Each structure stands twice: as structure tokens, then as C-alpha cells.
Structure 1
Amino acid sequence: MTDDSTRQWKTLDKDLNRLSRLEQASMHTSRPLVGVGISLVFVSLAAVAAALFAGGSPQGLAVIVASAFGAYMALNIGANDVANNMGPAVGAKALSMLGAIAIAAVCESAGALLAGGDVVSTISTGIVDPQALSSSTIFVRAMMAALLAASIWVNIATWIGAPVSTTHAVVGGVMGAGIVAAGFGTVNWPTMGSIAASWVISPLLGGIFAAGMLAFIKWRIMYVDDKLAAARTWVPVLIGIMSAAFATYLALKGLKKVIAIDLSHAVLIGIVAGIILGLVSVPFIRRQSRGLENRKASLKVLFRLPLVISAGLLSFAHGANDVANAVGPLAAIASVHETSEVAGQVAIPLWVMLIGALGISFGLVLFGPKLIGMVGNQITKLNPMRAYCVALSAAVTVIAASWLGLPVSSTHIAVGGVFGVGFFREWYMERRAQQIERDRPVSDMPHQERTRRKLVRRSHFMTIIAAWVITVPAAALMSAGCFLLLRAIGF
């Protein structure tokens, strides 16, 4: 082959490589647009479904538009809120990202459809005086404004990488629309004060409980001579506690469709379930521990399956509880369309519940990995033991807060648990370093270097706290603007 031919082939190879890199770059840039396109299709299908149920009446247009807003909100809940349940399991490498998304999608949908609330409060737990929105036109406009504003805020929070409470976003939306519609006097400010208190109560409770559980695991399992023997004793106890918490929660959420059940009976059901499942797990843990070495790394194997199951149960409970955030205002608008009256509470039709359940699943699959990765990997380093403490904290704290009558947010509890685990590790490592310095004056690591190597990323901590604080006022301002816009266009 001549030199000219060789040069031509080299030139062609270079051009093909450039084209290949250009194609890869184009595919990488267009990948996010695929999720947006699928989301638009889902929102359009939700509107079409609403059109079929609403008929051709003039009020039916409000139901159709509200269905599109509800689908948009459900997508954002799936993208943002579900990360709190699956993030720790992914960060601990107990689940792959794909496995987490698959389990969460199934459990969220099942929770929404099987145990989701049949009845939802249209004024969002007494935020606004119902008499102030007695006119059906003003009521529909306020619900649409609240739904759209909450959706936009949760979307923004997902984009900046901050897990926020979708319940607080909806509450802020209802408050903002209510103020514009009927003035500041229409807002139940003591209730809003309780919600503001939950910004502090929720993460503190979650963080303290998760840190306490991690301290217990270190004290009774990780830092004893025979780690496997300790694990065989205590891991079934921890599984029993987790089972009791979830059985109590699911009894309150799921059995209400069959029988009326109060908290004391639900706790009794939880205790029985916890004892049974704790005893059943004893031979399972013994079998899993055979052949393992007596070291801390072996303990991760024993906590992996309980962590995966707890993540699935958290997703089921989340789907049952938070689907109303997506479809509650939509159900209220559909009720006004059918009865021409504003009711304090309304039933959620099956087609409305389907929009919420499918929207949460689609949002999780299309946009969830970003927040799952952030909660699981970027706040602090998690392993199966630490992640299990977070999941256990989320379950137990919600039950304890319900019993005490404290206003809490499941999102804040879960993320607070992650922070609690991280800050406890910082304190523990600093304590050990100080002990080493006392025993050996010349430390391997200077104090300044230990200070720099924090185990919780402060940038994420400040971003998330700021997003929590401004969620209600931001959603309220957006909702007020949306209400004025809808009124201006005569909707």
C-alpha cells in the first residue's frame, strides 16, 4: 500500500472517530429529553382520560386541566420523594439503582392502589377556612393553583438536588391560593405554626433515633469480640422492631378499608407481628452467618436482605400516604364537577388514583436516579448497618409521632436519619482520634486535617435545610401567582 493510501485511511479513521464522538455527545445530550417526552405523553394521556370521564360539559374543562396538573405533580413526587426510601439501600450497595427503581415502582403503585386513602380532605387538613372557598368557581381555581404551584416547586427542588416534603408543598399551595381568594384571615395560622414546627421536629427525631440505633449496633454487635454471635442475637431483635413498626403503620393505613382501627389496636397488631417475624428470622440469620468470618465486613451480609425488605415497605407506605398529595386537589375538582358543591371531604375515584399511582412510578423511573444517588451517596457514606438505622428510624419515628400527636414529615425524618447517622460517625471518629492522641502524643493525622475531612457534606446539608424552610412560602407565592393568572384568563 502506498503512503498516499495509508494517509487517506488515517484521515478517514480520524473523521469517523470525530463523527462517532459527535454522535455519542448528541445521544448523551438528548437523553434527558427522552424523559421529558415520555412525561408529556403521560400528562396528555391523563388529560384524555379525564375528558372521557368528564364528558362535554363546560365544567369538564377544569377537570381535564386539573388532571394534567395532577399527573405532573405525581411525576414530581416520584422523582423527588421516593429517593428517601430507596436512597439509603442504594448507597449501602444492598440494591442496584435498577433494582431499587423496579422495587419502588411496584411497591409505590401497590401502596397507592391497595392502601391509598379513599377519602381526602379538600382543604388540606384545615389550612384554609372552608367557608372562604364556598363558591365552586373560586374553589376549583384555588385547587388548580395549589396543584400547579406545588408541582413546579417540587420540580425545581428536584432539579437543584434537594429532597423536599410534597405535603408541605401542597399545604403552601393551598395557603397561597386561599390568601389571594379570601385574605390572610382565612388561613388557620395555628395549624401553619404546627407545620413550621415539623421542620425542626421531624429531622431531629429521625436523626436522633437513627444515631441512637447506630450507637446500639456499634456497642452490641460491631465492637464486641464475637461479632457473629452478637449478630445472631440482636439482628432478629432489630428485624422484630422493624416488623412491628411497619405492621402498625400498615394496619393504620390498609385495614381502614375493612374495619375501623385505632392506634392502640394497630400497635397491638404490630407487637404480635414483630414477635412472630423476629422469631422466624432467628434460623434465617443463623443460616446466613455460617461460614462468615468474625469481622465487621461480614455483618453487611446479615443486614442486606432486611434492608431491602424495609425499603420496599417504606415505598409501599409512601405510596399509600402521599398519593393524595398528587390527586387530592384533582379529586376535589372532580367532585365539584359531579355535584356542583364544595365538600369538606371527597372520595378519590379509581381513575384519579390510577393517575397518581402511575405518575409516581413514571416519575421515579424517568427522573428518580438523581435524588436516589444524592440521598444514598452524596450526603454521607452508608453501609447496610447505617442504612438500616435510617429505614428503622423512618418507620418508628412516624408511629411515635402519630402516638404523641406531633406534626412530622416522612421526608424530613428519612433525610434527618441520614444526617443523624453521618453526624454521629463524625462525633465517634473525632472521639476515637482524641483517644489516640491521648495515648500517643504524635498523631498520624493533624487536627486541622481531621477537621477538613468531615463525614457529612456541608454543602448538601445547607441546600436541603434551605429548601425545607422555603418550601411552604415558595409554594404559597407561586400558588398566589397561578391563582391570579387563572382569574385573569377567566378560568
Structure 2
Amino acid sequence: MTENPCIRLAPHPGVVRTRKEIHPMLLIAVVTIILAFAFTFTNGFQDAATVAATFIASGSATPRQGIVMVAGVNFLGAIFGGSAVAFTLSGLLTITSDILVLQVLLAALLAASAWNLGAWYFGFPSSSTHALIGGIMGAGIAAAGTGSVYWGVAELLAPPHEITGMVKVMLFLIISIVLGLAGGYVMRRCTRVLFRNAKRTINRSIIRINWVAAAGMAFFNGANDAQKQLGIIALVLLAAGESAVLAVPFWARLTCALLISLGTLGGGWRIMKTIGRRIFAIEPVHSMDSQISSGVTLGLSTIAGAPVSSTHIITMSVIGVGAAENPRNVGWRVGEELIISMILTIPVTMVLSGALLFLVQRI
């Protein structure tokens, strides 16, 4: 069990928990945890499958090989990837009422899950992370005003390692996408020079590198994605009185690891086609460039405790590689869709989760 003993929720002033009050709280807690697990599964086919997209599209692995390998390493990342992201996410609410915390988290997950399923159905490279952050903000503000969200504005001018709260989350969401684009572009420029006189047989070595790069990217993807739900589950257990401190129990970590792997195995094909085929014709070297730049970005974000979007990082890195190769051959429409997604996801899920909160409170 990983825990942060410094974070606690105070009971709402004047609230005395009777038997009648405990039952609905526990019911909401159970439903929220189940929904968090379901959201983890949708994360598997919404975000995690993008990890295998360039790997498979480049011919470095067959679809079966690529998906099975990525699913397996996602599992390892969720188990051994730490809890820094989980604690960042669980510290975004400042609400002191336990029942209200549970209602906010339930509404946020409902909104994010609905967005995830819609994006998957239409093959839209949307972000589970953006949807979840938007859901938390929208439901939190609807529940108790803007003061219910820990913005971290006071720490904005502090040293980078001290930046926290929603400011930290939003900064990393933007910076990680820029790094994905720039990293892919720089990597392709470097490898073009490095391999300018190489023979076609170099692809054998590049394919081997792709397996290692894909595994590294899958590990940090599993670590970052699973921790988002683990942070919510830890907060739910604390608010429901099932845990004395904010902690990530192993049973929750193991369940999330299994579900994100099963999601990757079962549903990522639509998103994979978008990333792997619609941007430009990907060869092994392009996959290597994209995977290395994306993996480094995901790794740094996870170590820093920042929830980021794997889908957006990987997509932007592929666009960066394509732009460095030949801008005329890039399917810029995917980039346009991604920008539209970035603009729409958070405000739409904010409104949706705010509306859902009022429905949850009336059930």
C-alpha cells in the first residue's frame, strides 16, 4: 500500500453521521469505485491502444504481437509505476464535506466515461485525461463554487518542483503536447542525418529498437493512466471513512492494472487506425522517432506526478515526425481534430459533470 499521511479530509462542520447517512455514502462510494474501474477499462482502448499504433503500422510487429506486448507492459507500469500522479489528482478538491466529495467524483467519472465512449465510437483521438480533469472541475465548481478546486495559483511563480494543484495539471497538459510535437520533429531530423547513408538492412536493428521503445512507452503509459483512477479511488475510500489516510491499496492497483490491459486488448482498433494510418505512411524509423520522443515525455510527466494525455502526446509526436519528413504528406486534418478535441473536451465535460452532479444529488 502506498499512502500520503499528510492529506486528510475533515468532516463537514455540524454533520453527525447516523446510520441513515452512512448507507447512502457507502452506496455512492461503491458505485464510484466500480465506475472508476470501468473508466480504467475505457482508458485501455482510448489511450493505451495509441501506444501500439505506430509500432504496428510501421510493420515492426503484427497486430497481435503489438497489442499483446503493449497490454502486458501496461500492466507492469500500473503495478510498479508509483503513486505520484495519483496523489496529484486526489489533491485537486478542497471540499470538506465527505458526501459532497463522493458526489463530485461520481459525476466527474460519469461525464468523462460518456465522453470516452463517444470519442471511441467515432474514432476520435480524444483524451481521457482532459475529460476527467474537466469532469472534476465542473462537478467541483457546481458543488461548492470555484473555491472547491485547489488551483495552486499561489505556487505559480515558485520553483518548478513546487508548482501544484490544477495549475500544475494544466501546465503539463500543454507542455507535454508541445514536447511531443517538438520531440518527434527533432528526433526525425536527427535520424535523417544519422541514417542518411544506411542500407535498408538497418531496418532490422530499428525494429529491435522499436520493441524496446514501445515497451518503455507502454510502461509509462500504464503508470500514468492507471494512477488517475487510483487517485480517485484513494479519495473515495478516505471520504467514505474506509481509510484513515489517503492511500492506494494494492487490490485497487491490481484491478486497474488488469482492466487497462484488457481494455488495450479489446477495443483500441478504431483509434489505432487514426494514429497509425491517417497522418502519413509510417516506416520503422518513423515509429522509433515517435516512440522515443513520446516515451521520454510520458516518463518525465509521470515522475513529476502530472496526469497527461497519452493520446495527444503520441499523436503530436507522429505529426512532428511527419512534418520533419515531408510536410506535404502529413494528414493535417488529424492535427486539426486534435486541436478541436483539446479545445472542446474540458469545457464540455465541465458542463456535463456539473449537470450530472445535480442529478446525482437528487437520486
Q: Which has the higher helix share?
A: 1
Aligned equivalents of 1:369, 1:410: Cα separation in 2: 16
- Kept in 1, the 8 Å contact 2:233–2:252? The answer is yes
- Write the deviation string for residues 402-422 of structure 1: whole angstroms up to 9, x where unpaired: 899999644432221100011
1:478 maps to a residue whose letter is L
1:469 aligns with 2:346: no
Q: Retained in 1: the 8 A contact 2:49–2:272?
A: yes
1:220 to 194, 198, 202: 194
Q: Which residue in the other structure is 1:412 paired with?
A: 312
1:283 alignment counterpart: none
Structure 1 contact 202–410 (Cα < 8 Å) conserved: no
Distance 1:139 1:407, change over 3 A: closer
The equivalent position to 2:334 in structure 1, one of 440, 454, 460, is 460
The separation in 2 between residues aligned to 1:323 and 1:404, in whole angstroms, is: 15
Which of 127, 131, 141 is the matching residue for 1:179?
141
Report what 2:13 is aligned to.
Answer: none
On the 8 A contact 1:83/1:375 being kept in 2, the answer is: no
Opposite residue 298 of structure 1, the aligned amino acid is T
Match of 2:76 among 100, 105, 110: 110
- C-alpha change, 1:399 and 1:104, in structure 2 (3 Å) is closer
- Check conservation: 2:225, 2:307, Cα contact below 8 A: no
How many angstroms apart in 2 are the aligned matches of 1:461 and 1:118? 30
Aligned partner of 2:17 in structure 1 is none
- Over 3 Å counting, the alpha-carbon distance change for 1:404 and 1:484 in structure 2 is closer
Query: Could you tell me how far 1:328 is from its partner in structure 2?
Result: 2.3
RCO higher in 1 or 2 (8 Å CA, sep ≥ 6)?
2
| Bigger radius of gyration | 1
Q: 8 Å contact 1:144–1:329 — kept in the other structure? A: no
* 1:115 Cα deviation from its structure 2 partner: 2.8
Paired position in structure 2 for 1:150: 112
1:367 Cα deviation (Å)? Answer: 0.8
Q: Report the counterpart of residue 228 of structure 2 in structure 1.
A: 325
Q: Distance in 2 between matches of 1:138 and 1:321?
A: 26
Q: 1:482 aligns with which of 352, 356, 362?
A: 356
Q: Which amino acid in 1 is paired with 2:232? A: P
| Whole-Å separation in 2 of the counterparts to 1:418 and 1:182 | 41
Contact 1:79–1:368 (CA under 8 A) maintained in structure 2: yes
1:377 corresponding residue in structure 2: 277
Indicate whether 1:367 and 2:298 are aligned. Answer: no
Give the match for residue 25 of structure 2.
59
Deviations 1:380-438 (A, max 9, x none): 211111111111111333466789999964443222110001112224xxxxxxxxxxx
Q: State whether residues 113 and 320 of structure 1, in contact with CA within 8 Å, keep that contact through their aligned partners in structure 2.
A: yes
Matched residue type, 1:388: M
State which drifts further: 392-401 or 75-84: 392-401
Letter in 1 for 2:38: Y
- 1:203 to 2:168 alignment: no
**How many angstroms apart in 2 are the aligned matches of 1:413 and 1:379?**
14
Q: Which residue identity lines up with residue 169 of structure 1 in the other structure?
A: A
1:337 corresponds, among 240, 246, 257, to 240
* Corresponding residue for residue 21 of structure 1: none
CA distance 1:119–1:401, change in 2 (3 Å): closer
Change (3 A) 1:164 1:329: same
Aligned identity (percent) is 28
SS at match of 1:315: helix
1:179/1:393 CA distance change after superposition, 3 Å: same
Native 8 Å contact 1:119 1:348 kept in 2: no
Structure 2 CA distance for aligned equivalents of residues 337 and 320 of structure 1: 25
TM norm structure 2? 0.82
RMSD: 2.8
Contact 1:166 1:325 in 2 (8 A): no
8 Å CA contact 2:90–2:234 kept in 1: the answer is no
The DSSP-based 3-state class of the residue aligned with 1:163 is coil
What is the alpha-carbon distance in structure 2 between the residues aligned to residue 402 and residue 120 of structure 1?
10
**Secondary structure of 1:78's partner?**
helix
Q: Distance in 1 between matches of 2:357 and 2:66?
A: 38
Q: Offset at 1:98?
A: 1.1
Shift of 1:183: 1.2
1:169 aligns with 2:131: yes
1:131-180 superposed Cα distances (whole Å, 9 cap, x missing partner): xx111110111111112212221222222223333222221111111111
In 2, distance between residues paired with 1:110 and 1:347? 20
**Given that residues 128 and 309 in structure 2 are in contact (C-alpha distance below 8 angstroms), is that contact kept between their aligned partners in structure 1?**
no
Q: Which amino acid aligns with 2:182?
A: I
Asked if the contact 2:108–2:139 (Cα under 8 Å) also holds between the matched residues in 1, the reply is yes
Deviations 1:255-310 (CA, angstroms, capped at 9, x unpaired): xxxxxxxxxxxxxxxxxxxxxxxxxxxxxxxxxxxxxxxx3x32221100110121
Instruction: Encode CA deviations 1:183-235: one digit per residue, 9 max, x unaligned.
Output: 134342745566555554333322222222211211121x23xx2xxxxxxxx
The AA in structure 2 aligned to 1:117 is S
Counterparts in 2 of 1:326 and 1:413: CA distance versus 1, 3 Å: same
SS class of match (2:86): strand
